[in-house]
Amino acid sequence: MASVRDVTLDLLRERGMTTMFGNPGSTELPMLADFPDDFRYVLGLHEIVAVGMADGFAQASGRTTMVNLHTAPGVGNGMGAIFNAQANKTPLLVTAGQQARSLMTVQANLTNRDAVRMPHPLVKWSYEPPRAEDVPHALARGAHLASLPPRGPVFVSIPMDDWGVEADPVATPHQMGRTVSGAAQPAPDSIRELGERLARAERPVLVAGPELDSQPGWDAAVALAERLRMPVWATPATGGGRLGFPENHPAFQGLLPPAVGPLGETLAGHDLVLVAGSSVFPYYPNIPGPPLPDGASLVAITSDPDEAARAPMGDALVADPALTLAALVGEVTESGAERPPERPAPEPPEKSDPMSPSAAAATLADVFPEDGIVVLEAPSSTLAVRNRLRLSRPGSYYFGAGGGLGFGLAAAIGVQLAQPERPVVCVVGEGSAQYAIQGLWTAAAYDVPVTFLVLRNEEYAILKWFASLESVTGAPGLDLPALDVAAVAAGYGVAARSVRTRDELHAALGDAIATEAPSLVEVRVAPGMAVG
């Protein structure tokens, strides 16, 4: 007889979901018993790490990924990371063990009283199957749902005594081998109308968002931008968890600022704003102003109906942005307009001791390999890193679009596991690193060769910047004296160095990227916000 567990493993196998992340407890052990050789379990020492690693792995592999947590407290600990996965549109199958069915009503220890409600606002679907026999179907349903646009996490709670129950012999064969796919092509009329609108525009501009981060997405965006001579902006860093356009392309202008007024001002002179694969817009902070230049109109293409509906202005087309841009290329004729001016190369950073974050970013750019991937969570240095690394391949950049710290360090490990051939550098503030610091143990224990570049400025610099923006004085808790991340890394088994000068940083980063083991380079940087 095949058990619920046997059938579940087969369903996961046939979907290629054989890498599982988690942190186990007694309620999960029946699922993990006699763990099959063709599966890989990656242990995170805290749930924010397990979910964050799964997030990075799912994004970088393109596959829905399972992460298994320990009943209510495990889900509770992981919620910040589930929030991030939702913002990143990451297809995660989040599962948690539950007390045995016969003990749930008496609320025995570890019963999750309302398992379905707990992660509810953060997931596309939250479920506890009514019968043990429904577990495989519920997991398959969750995995399909997670992978359909807009992608995102789902949650299934599984009572611990379900795994050994005999699977339903009638229903099971029908559940195996199903494919469920979806990428919406816009209606031909919509494409024609949008093509005509673009042709009528005198100065159109393209804003590229994370949903375009694939070779077909980049190819379509580049072809359309070149054909219409459009300058291209990246959607603001706050929501641009991935890259929608090559940053070394002459049409690329940089990142839009995230606040309403400055964003609108940056688009001055354009009469049509075409947004592809982004919300309109991931605004922050609240600096009011006209959201669009006078007389300009906007069209957004997104596969997310909610993103389309909640946009504060403009029209929206709900369809796959890459397919839509590719269809538009065939619809418009080559523009005779002048090519947009190229953005200037950043100025060499000024010398100082400690070095500025811009100098650290410039040093990283000097050694950054052509096929490198950067995972970024260094809030006050975000713009410096984005403006100095001109990434030229899809799938080269990951950033927690939700803004919940703890994504970066954990996700970098998942990205590296999914992309073992490409060097991964995690640029992280010493404050941000603490939210997922236990991930260093996983990197060491599983030999995941991420280079962690820790920017140590001894404060929560971005919060000091926000304080001045919000006219807040005297706020406590914004300094981080004597936080020695290199020493902590050594405790987790990761080789670590502290450096001070650009030459030392250059050498240390070069070595770290070249080694096949995880390593951490901590560099002292000047406090304060870096803008480029």
Ligand X SMILES: Cc1ncc(C[n+]2csc(CCOP(=O)(O)OP(=O)(O)O)c2C)c(N)n1
Alpha helices in 368-435 (DSSP H): 382-388, 407-418
Min separation Cβ 430 and ligand X, Å = 5
- Give me the amino acid identity at 247: E
- Residue nearest ligand X, CB atom distance: 429
Distance, CA of 199 to CA of 207 (rounded, Å): 17
Distance, CA of 173 to CA of 168 (rounded, Å): 9
Contact 142, 127 (CB under 8 A): yes
Q: Which is nearer to ligand X, 80 or 240 (CB)?
A: 80
Q: Which is nearer to ligand X, 383 or 418 (CB)?
A: 383
**Which of 114, 138, 121, 58 is closest to 407 using CA atoms?**
58
Distance, CA of 128 to CA of 156 (rounded, Å): 6
Measured in degrees and rounded to the nearest 5, phi and psi for residue 111 equal -65, 130
Q: Which is nearer to ligand X, 83 or 245 (CB)?
A: 83
CA 225 to each of CA 49, 232, 246, 281, 383: distance values in angstroms, whole numbers, following the listed order: 39, 7, 12, 20, 24
Q: Which is nearer to ligand X, 403 or 449 (CB)?
A: 403
Distance, CA of 62 to CA of 65 (rounded, Å): 9
Min separation Cβ 460 and ligand X, Å = 4
Q: Which is nearer to ligand X, 225 or 462 (CB)?
A: 462
Q: Which is nearer to ligand X, 276 or 525 (CB)?
A: 525
Contacts of 134 (CB under 8 A, 6+ apart): none
Min separation Cβ 436 and ligand X, Å = 10
Min separation Cβ 463 and ligand X, Å = 5
Min separation Cβ 518 and ligand X, Å = 19
Min separation Cβ 72 and ligand X, Å = 20
The 519-524 sheet, strands edge to edge: 397-399, 373-377, 424-429, 451-456, 519-524, 495-499
Positions in the binding site for ligand X (CB under 6 A): 80, 378-381, 403-406, 429-432, 435, 457, 459-463
Q: Which is nearer to ligand X, 317 or 485 (CB)?
A: 485
Min separation Cβ 81 and ligand X, Å = 9
b/e sequence 404-418, b meaning 16+ C-beta within 10 Å = bbbbbbbbbbbbbbb
